[in-house]
Structure 1
Amino acid sequence: MSVSSSIKLRQILGAELDKLVTLPLIWFTLTGTFILNLVLAAAFTSVGVQGATGTQNILNIGLASMGYLQAGFIILGILATCSEYTGGQIRTTLITIPWRVFQLSTKHLALAIITLPMAFIIAASAVLYTFIMMRDTTVVIEIDTMITTLIGATGYLTLTTLLSAAVGALLRRTTPALVVLLGYYFIVSPLTRVFLPSNKNFLNYFPDTAGSYMYMPSSSDEISVLTPMQGTGISMLWTLSFITVAIVFYRKRDA
């Protein structure tokens, strides 16, 4: 049984990877995100190049586009799960793969396999561009710090993508999912941070705020901050919770 289940899981994973890899919108989204990120990195670097010194400044400027960059990965996650509902392809999928829990779980796994390297490349390209442009204004770059920061940024973008895919699976329609997630990340959350008192520590436990601690260290005098590990744990908890809810609903309702 274990061998049969393992073979079945590999076959389902292969099918989900094949669907994602052959979906043009996935690559259009990733390409557009990569280009937009380089444009933003160039803009932020041109602003910060005068008088900016030190490793931390380079990392901060190189990753300053993360707030905008996450939009591309939100779209990526939504497209991964909602695209099959557009033309009714989901029915063919469920006829071919009737095990809904396996099917949706492996779809998220396949999405993570694609997202991880692309998120690292896109995040690293911005930092590399900033480093090249600011190499004359910095003293030394600590490789360990840069790698740790890039891993954190990659993890955040990947978790955001998976969370978005889970929301897409729940709503099953691209436009509502985009409105909900982009509205939260770019309107609700920023306004909440502006209008609520700064001592409201619960804001640190929102998925986007907690995730920011994965890659952007806070100043030592900031109160009630999270460590990168705590930010990672909270972000993973949000993502796994949404995936679990999506699987439960996916299993119980008709396609």
Structure 2
Amino acid sequence: MESTVVNVCAAELIKLRGLRAVTLTIGLTVLGTAGVAMLQVIAPPGNATAAEAVRASVQYAQLGFVLLGVLSVASEYDGSQIHTSLVSVPNRLLLLAGKAVTYLAVAAVAAAVTVAASYVAARSAKPADVGPAEVGPAGLGTFVGAAAYLVLIGLFAAALATIIRQLIAAMVATLALAMVVPPVLVTITRWADYLPSRAGMRLYDDSPDLLRGAAVLFAWLAIAHLAAAAAFTQRDA
């Protein structure tokens, strides 16, 4: 029977659910990010609002989503699972699309829970600091942007994992681009703002450059996924 996107996504979802590392990653990310958000409002100087705490916690939450994106692809290269997948779904582009759609579905739920848990944790730690501005349209925009960034940085990691085909190397490469290189380059050149994580920050930091940041991040995603598709279809498994 010919594979369809729905069938491929269902199979990929079963694979992800069977990986203990995925469940553990999501659980620790939610709990860890909530803990970071709480610390932002209670640790000295303790003047962060709940919305500011959520924004700060995203920098740590992205670790979990990078790992989730890498696991959605690279886990199959640890053994012979990739060969089985290609036998079941000979159409490589269809298989790659199924992996991306499945990751997006799982990551979207995980990101929404992560951001919500962070906000609840920060609010419970300092309820007096929660005003109308934080829960109004502007505040909701920040939270939606934070969740979107987490999903997209993990999708970028998945593309790199497809190219690199090795879990640790893909993790290191993505985290270098997201967390190590930007703080160094930002002190040297304004071009650092065009790195994926710096551009993605515009989605949730109330920046007037939101559209430009989103465009730059999507450009990175497009280039990474085109390269991943080319590598996946041309190379041997």
Please state which band the TM-score falls in when normalised by the shorter chain: over 0.9
After superposition, what is the alpha-carbon deviation per residue over 1:32-85, rounded to whole angstroms, capped at 9, x for unaligned?
111211221121111267455xxxx43112221111111111111111100001
From 70, 73, 77, the equivalent of 1:78 is 70
Seen in structure 2, the aligned counterparts of structure 1 residues 138 and 24 have a Cα distance that, compared at 3 Å, is closer
Alpha-carbon separation, structure 2, partners of 1:107 and 1:173: 16
> Which has the larger Rg?
1
Code of the aligned partner of 1:45:
V
From 96, 99, 104, the equivalent of 1:107 is 99
Q: How does 1:107-186 map to 2 (within 5 A)?
A: 107-140=99-132, 141-186=134-179
Code of the aligned partner of 1:213:
R
Using the size of structure 1 for normalisation, the TM-score is 0.86
Of Structure 1 and Structure 2, the greater helix share is in 2
From 186, 193, 207, the equivalent of 1:204 is 193
Q: Is the 8 A contact 2:177 2:197 kept in 1?
A: no
Shift of 1:138: 4.4
5+ residue gaps, structure 1, are 219-224
Q: Is the 8 A contact 1:62 1:129 kept in 2?
A: no
Corresponding position of 2:85:
93
Alpha-carbon separation, structure 1, partners of 2:47 and 2:41: 11
Q: Aligned with 1:93: secondary structure?
A: helix
Shift of 1:21: 2.0
Does 2:197 correspond to 1:214? no
Q: Aligned with 1:98: secondary structure?
A: coil
Does 2:184 correspond to 1:188? no
Corresponding position of 1:17:
13
Code of the aligned partner of 1:33:
T
Shift of 1:99: 0.3
Q: Is the 8 A contact 2:177 2:196 kept in 1?
A: no
Code of the aligned partner of 2:154:
T
Shift of 1:134: 2.3
Code of the aligned partner of 1:108:
A
Q: Is the 8 A contact 1:48 1:61 kept in 2?
A: no
Code of the aligned partner of 2:234:
K
After superposition, what is the alpha-carbon deviation per residue over 1:189-214, rounded to whole angstroms, capped at 9, x for unaligned?
211113x04xx2x3222110110010
Shift of 1:137: 3.3
Would you identify which runs of 4 or more consecutive aligned residues in structure 1 move more than 3 Å?
48-52
Q: Is the 8 A contact 1:63 1:123 kept in 2?
A: no
Using the size of structure 2 for normalisation, the TM-score is 0.92
Q: Is the 8 A contact 1:193 1:203 kept in 2?
A: yes
Number of aligned residue pairs: 236
Code of the aligned partner of 1:73:
F
Alpha-carbon separation, structure 2, partners of 1:81 and 1:217: 33
Does 2:48 correspond to 1:44? no
Corresponding position of 1:222:
none
Q: Aligned with 2:211: secondary structure?
A: helix
Q: Is the 8 A contact 2:104 2:155 kept in 1?
A: yes
Corresponding position of 1:243:
225
Alpha-carbon separation, structure 2, partners of 1:23 and 1:97: 20
Code of the aligned partner of 1:100:
R
5+ residue gaps, structure 2, are none
Shift of 1:87: 1.0
Code of the aligned partner of 1:236:
F
Q: Is the 8 A contact 1:75 1:178 kept in 2?
A: yes
